[in-house]
Structure 1
Amino acid sequence: MTLASDPVETEASAVEIAALIRSGRVTAAEVVDSALARVDALDDSLHAFVERTDTLARAQAAEVDAAFARGEDPGPLAGVPIAIKDLIATAGVPTRNGSVVYGDWIPDEDDIVVERVKNAGAVILGKTTVPEFGYSAAGHSPVSPPARNPWNPELTPGGSSAGSAVAVATGMSPLALGSDGGGSVRIPASLCGLVGFKASMGRVPLYPGCRDERFPGMSSWETIEHIGPMTRTVADTALLMSVLAGPDPRDRHSLPAGDVDWLAAVAEEPARDLTGKTIAYSADLGYLPVDPQVRATVAAAVETFEKLGATVVEADPGIDDARPYIWPIVMADSDLVGMRGLVAQHRDRMSPHLVELIERRWTAEEFTTAQMMRKRVVNQMWRFMRNYDLLVTPSLAVPAFPIGIQGPELIDGRMVDSGSWLGFLNIFNWTGQPAISVPAGFTTGGLPVGLQIVGPHLGDGDVLAAAALFERERPWHYRWPGSPAAGGTRKESFAR
């Protein structure tokens, strides 16, 4: 999958693009034209986008260039392209939520995070592919073709932030927003070789997504949902977090941004190491089956933390296997009455696995038992984290698998349910701890493998700093099969 030369380089980071635009070496208009050309060239086969906003993007880029011409500063993301997951409301732009139910819905207000990236000068390229209401860790939905993993288009990119991952991994956009209620930023980041960050719960406020009672299906996941960056570098994640973090009265769970200077914490990191830090490493949490290549790749990557001066201790958190309680937590957060009304009208056009969840006769005891299990896991984790600065695990139990299934049913010779491959992730949605997935390496078949770094409650800066150091010591390369680093056609530089 190689491309003809683009007008400008598509592999530059968001930090680099912002600096080049600010210096006048390239215009925001040139950057957006290059990004849209990349979408034209790739998206018919990879299906990252469900709605393109070319006219809006060009108008926003023109505003950025005009602001600089007047001597004004449009913001830290001035002219930088960004893709928005289609579960995140965008005023005036169709936001279908991966469902025929909202096929004609055009929000009249932006989500808080969309407000913030617009105010920071970002250029919105469009809305990205999601499974219906985000109720899947894969990338297929009833309203669009399945998103495809650029490393192997026969495989899933993961979900539910599927299209966002594809857009960033292929250079269509340097930045994307995803949402993570049970791993949905970290899953596709791991499978597509990206950085995906879920900050402490409340650090990035949410509204209307999951909090507007008027919209059944959308108003789900409230006590576990997060919105976070998907990027190709840790510095880009930090840059986007500097825009997203901070409280908002529309989100009762929202937190102050804290005393962390998100970008400086990463930019200054090369002068530091992890001396004095104690890091727990758990290869399987004590109970999860893990693909042998994933296990070996992550184990080799973990040695990097020792080289950085940290003491690494193999230790399992000792938490209960909470996987059977995931869906009761989600459904207890949902409008079951409203969603059952949607099923009554649209059953034949909705995802079968979603219909099954909605129609199940849930009991109060199932919901309250799940709530008690969540409390138990939260208490087990904070007690464990008292002894460690960070916890490191694989991000996922497997590399990418074929499109069309919810997950593999055989891992390392063990028969498992289709959600077992996700077992490292949802715990930290329950606890609200910050967690980041970073590329750890590749399988022998050339598929990306992710490593997850987890911090204590509100330890966002420590997680970003450790990820930046890891990236410095093990720089991953933008090597998807269509990139120049993998033998594709070299693009022209941004610099003129």
Structure 2
Amino acid sequence: MSLWRLPAAEQARGIRAGEWSAEEVMRSVLDRIAQADPDLRAYCTLDDSALDAARRADTARRVGEPLGPLHGVPFSVKDLIPTAGVRTTLGSVAHRDWVPAEDEIAVARLRAAGAVLVGKTNARELGYGVVTDNALFGSTRNPWDPRLTAAGSSGGAAAAVAAGMGSLALGSDGGGSLRVPAAVCGVFSIKPTFGVVPLYPSCRAPLRVGLDSWESLECIGPMSRTVADSALVLEVIAGFDAQDRHSAAPGSVTWGVPDAERARGLRVAYSPDLGIAEVAPEVAGVVRAAVTAAAAALDWDLTVVSPRLPALPELRETFLATVAMDTDRSALRRLADEVPVSADIRELVDRDWTAHEFDRARVARRAVHDAVHGFSAPFDLLLTPATAATAFPAGLRFPRDGECGIADGRQWSPFAFLANLTGQPAASIPAGRTAAGLPVGLQALAPRFGDPLLLDVAQAVEELRTPASCFA
């Protein structure tokens, strides 16, 4: 049996039952990485102690120690998230040798639940951009077609999970960095409600230049091939921690096993384009078919909506100004003058931002929050495409104009960052594939603290689809 093919929940069950050992699961995943990663470049650092940690997990089981829900299960961590004793480069030449002294809270909680770190997955430099390449490790490729991008900035995580190089990955999302790569790599991911998963030290402590960016936008969340696996991770990593000054109050969310039956009879808003975006016809068709099928099977009261939002350029300006406000731009500018940086960072630090622009963005962000709340209040959730186009050639920041079915390539990801501005939970659910076999994602947004509802809906959609994998 190829143990790397199994979902995390099944790997954990077999380890607890003694059907296989944690070491056997880890060796299977490492063998899969050795086979698949040379073409994909999903991993940038492997943890040299992974096999020893797996053996310790097996010893703990043999001597009767209490076992956590993920005991012995391998997991990976995006290279923007600190891991004690394991190199964390942030995708930056300036940080290429940094080895943190402490784990991110979510990493520590996964380890406490018995999960075993495999290694770090590639990321866009400091998270600035929706592709995954950097001067240290190159470009992460899409498992469905290695000529194409895995998107980003959690592209290494998405490619690793999609290709079977670990059933669980931890990533981060400041403007779609979990959901966008999940969509184009055909896996599931959820950005939780802002504050539900505590962050520390990432985004909260100025340990390294750029690490503390994305203060009011960033969330950490899971990627997996099944909804149930992501739900299992969220139950472990969510919950109040006083180290995070934005941590949600205890009991804000009650977790449980996703249940498709709870997704029946919902009032659902569906917007093919949010009234602001151009969507590639084939992407629009795949998403529409998935929404129509789910509505019929689950008895949804489905309403097609076109909300009144600011034009896309204005929304992007609000988002970019928010990113700039969250960033120590002086320190980042000094870093950019000392080492080569990505075009995304260069554009941010070279722009002469004004107080008026920041004031306008703060007001606009409040207006966006109110507008989204207003049009979605009568509904249980809002559905949109996850991206406007499918994966495009690796090495590019965005598709060329006129390619991938949209006129303006820069606008290929117009949907995801909205949920970061509002703090809502949002998930990218595999919706189907194009005629060329490329994955398409369906985005679902719920009210704040509606994370369990998103998991129920995603479970229901998952059960309606014929499973597909790039390694079948």
TM range (shorter): over 0.9
Which residue identity does 2:149 align to in structure 1? T
Q: 1:281 to 1:343 in 2, by over 3 A?
A: same
Partner of 2:26: 32
Residues 315 and 51 of structure 1: is their aligned pair in 2 closer, same or farther, counting only changes over 3 Å? same
Tell me which residue corresponds to 2:217.
Answer: 224
Which of 119, 122, 125 is matched with 2:115 structurally?
A: 122
Give yes or no for the alignment of 1:296 onto 2:285.
yes
The worse-fitting range, judged by mean Cα deviation, of 78-87 and 324-333 is 324-333
Corresponding position of 2:341: 350
Indicate if the aligned counterparts of 1:305 and 1:470 stay in contact, CA closer than 8 A. no
Aligned runs of 1:148-167 on 2, under 5 Å?
Answer: 148-167=141-160
1:59-458 matches, within 5 Å, as 59-256=52-249, 258=251, 260-264=253-257, 266=258, 269-275=259-265, 277-303=266-292, 304-321=294-311, 322-346=315-339, 349-408=340-399, 409-410=401-402, 415-416=407-408, 418=410, 420-458=411-449
For residue 271 of structure 1, report the CA deviation from its aligned partner.
Answer: 4.6
User: Which one of the candidate residues 10, 20, 35 is aligned to 2:4?
Assistant: 10
Residues 411 and 146 (structure 1), Cα distance of their counterparts in 2 relative to 1, 3 Å cut: closer
Change beyond 3 A, Cα 1:99–1:399: same
* Per-residue Cα deviation, 1:223-269 (whole angstroms, up to 9, x for no partner): 000001000010001000010110111111111463755332x1xx2
Where does 1:481-492 land on structure 2 (aligned, <5 Å)? 483=471, 485=472
Q: Give identity over the alignment, percent.
A: 43
- Deviations along 1:176-230, whole A, 9 cap, x unmatched? 0010000000011000000010011001011111111242211100100000100
Distance 1:306 1:91 in 2: 48
| Cα distance change, pair 96–47 in 1 and its aligned pair in 2 (3 A) | same
Cα distance in 2 between the residues matched to 1:381 and 1:159? 25
TM-score (norm 1): 0.92
CA-to-aligned-CA distance 1:138-165 (integer Å, 9 cap, x gap): 1111111210001000100110001111
- Deviation, 1:369, is 1.2
* CA shift for structure 1 position 101: 0.8
- Preserved CA contact (<8 Å) 2:105 2:198: yes
**One-letter identity of the residue aligned with 1:431:** T
1:353-387, CA deviations, whole angstroms, 9 ceiling, x for partnerless residues? Answer: 31221122111111121111111100111112211
Q: Paired residue for 2:37, among 24, 32, 43?
A: 43
With structure 2 as the length reference, what TM-score do the two structures score? Answer: 0.96
The amino acid across from 1:40 in the alignment is A
| Among candidates 440, 454, 457, match of residue 463 of structure 1 | 454
* Runs (5+) with no aligned partner, structure 2: none
8 Å Cα contact 2:279/2:406 also seen in 1? no
1:422 Cα deviation after fit: 1.3
Contact 2:273 2:279 (C-alpha < 8 Å) held by counterparts: yes
Query: Equivalents in 1 of 2:467, 2:385: separation in Å?
Result: 16
Structure 1 range deviating more: 397-406 or 359-368: 359-368
Distance apart, 1:325 and its partner CA: 2.2
Deviation at 1:412, TM superposition (A): 7.7
Q: Identify which range, 403-412 or 355-364, moves more after superposition.
A: 403-412
* Cα contact 1:292–1:412 (8 A) shared by 2: no
Contact 2:279–2:405 (CA under 8 A) maintained in structure 1:
no
- Relative to structure 1, the CA distance from residue 376 to residue 36 in structure 2 (aligned partners, 3 Å threshold; closer, same or farther) is same
SS of corresponding position for 1:263: coil
Does the Cα contact within 8 Å between 1:245 and 1:257 map onto a contact in 2? Answer: no
My pick for the range that moved more, 451-460 or 211-220, is: 211-220
Q: Secondary structure at the match of 1:230?
A: strand
Cα deviation, 1:380-411, whole Å, max 9, x if unaligned, reads 11112211001011000000001121112336
